[in-house]
């Protein structure tokens, strides 16, 4: 499959972009080995071309691949690799995205404390940079985790989240979040 992609695309940057979309898709289909191989191919190309931002995106998507395969240790390694690339060049939103992805993996695999910290980090960054749609999504996930842990903060998180969904013209999502307030 990847040879066909290489023949049709002209440069490595385009190939990498396609591969980082294919990898997580394969993982969602349960084809974990292919997904990992696809992401490793994207990583090697990004390293070869010395594209740190793109390489960070590869590692961020690798988090998703490992989350789907329920490989938390590997997801953490990918997160750490992404952070090492993003922090020196100030890619805060990418850090927030990676934190959100790993936070979801941590929650699904049972490390609620670490998940809570990662989701709170992503919320803080999205709030700081006024990324309302991403903030709303992160608040919804954070509120759900807080509720599942029996934390009183869930109620206020859901209220803020519902209002934010209203502000960005997503009343259906606001309704879903309001329903979570009563459950």
CATH number reported for the structural domain that contains residue 85 in this entry = 1.25.40.10
pLDDT in tens, the chain (183 residues): 455 666 666 678 888 989 999 999 999 999 999 999 999 999 999 999 888 888 999 999 999 899 889 888 898 899 889 888 888 888 888 889 989 988 988 888 888 999 999 999 999 999 999 999 999 999 999 999 999 999 999 999 999 999 999 999 999 999 999 998 887
Token pair for 172: 């259906």
Dihedral of alpha carbons 172, 177, 181, 183, sign: positive
Other C-beta atoms lying within 10 Å of the C-beta of residue 90: 9
In this prediction, residue 89 carries a pLDDT of 80
Residue carrying the six token digits 């980090």: 121
- Does the residue 52 lie in any domain? yes
From the CA atom positions of the chain, what is the Rg in Å? 18
Distance between CA 49 and CA 60 in Å, rounded?
A: 18
- Does the residue 140 lie in any domain? no
In this prediction, residue 172 carries a pLDDT of 95
- Does the residue 82 lie in any domain? yes
In this prediction, residue 3 carries a pLDDT of 59
In this prediction, residue 104 carries a pLDDT of 87
First to last CA, the chain: 46
- Does the residue 182 lie in any domain? no
Element (H, E) at 51: none
- Which of 67, 65, 77, 79 is closest to 109 using CA atoms? 67
- Does the residue 64 lie in any domain? yes
- Does the residue 147 lie in any domain? no
- For the chain, the domain total comes to 1
Backbone angles phi, psi at 169, to 5 degrees: 60, 45
Domain of residue 103 covers 2-131
Dihedral of alpha carbons 27, 32, 38, 40, sign: positive
Q: CA torsion angle for 23, 29, 30, 36 (degrees, to 10)?
A: -10
In this prediction, residue 88 carries a pLDDT of 84
- Does the residue 170 lie in any domain? no
- Which of 113, 109, 111, 137 is closest to 123 using CA atoms? 137
- Which of 162, 163, 164, 160 is closest to 177 using CA atoms? 162
In this prediction, residue 21 carries a pLDDT of 93
Are residues 95 and 136 in contact, defined by beta-carbon separation less than 8 angstroms? Answer: no
């Amino acid at each position: 499959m990847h040879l066909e992609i290489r023949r049709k695309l002209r440069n490595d940057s385009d190939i990498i972009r396609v591969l980082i979309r294919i990898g997580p898709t394969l993982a969602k289909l349960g084809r974990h080995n292919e997904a990992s191989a696809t992401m490793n191919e994207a990583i090697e190309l990004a390293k070869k071309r010395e594209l740190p931002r793109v390489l960070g995106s590869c590692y961020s998507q690798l988090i998703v691949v490992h989350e789907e395969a329920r490989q938390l240790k590997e997801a953490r390694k990918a997160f750490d690799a992404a952070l090492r690339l993003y922090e020196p060049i100030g890619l805060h939103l990418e850090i927030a995205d990676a934190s959100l992805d790993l936070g979801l993996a941590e929650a699904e695999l049972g490390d609620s404390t670490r998940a809570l910290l990662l989701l709170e980090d992503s919320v803080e960054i999205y709030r700081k940079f006024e990324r309302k749609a991403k903030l709303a999504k992160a608040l919804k996930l954070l509120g759900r985790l807080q509720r599942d842990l029996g934390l009183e903060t869930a109620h206020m998180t859901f209220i803020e989240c519902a209002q934010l969904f209203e502000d960005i013209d997503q009343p259906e999502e606001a309704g879903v979040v309001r329903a979570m307030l009563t459950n």
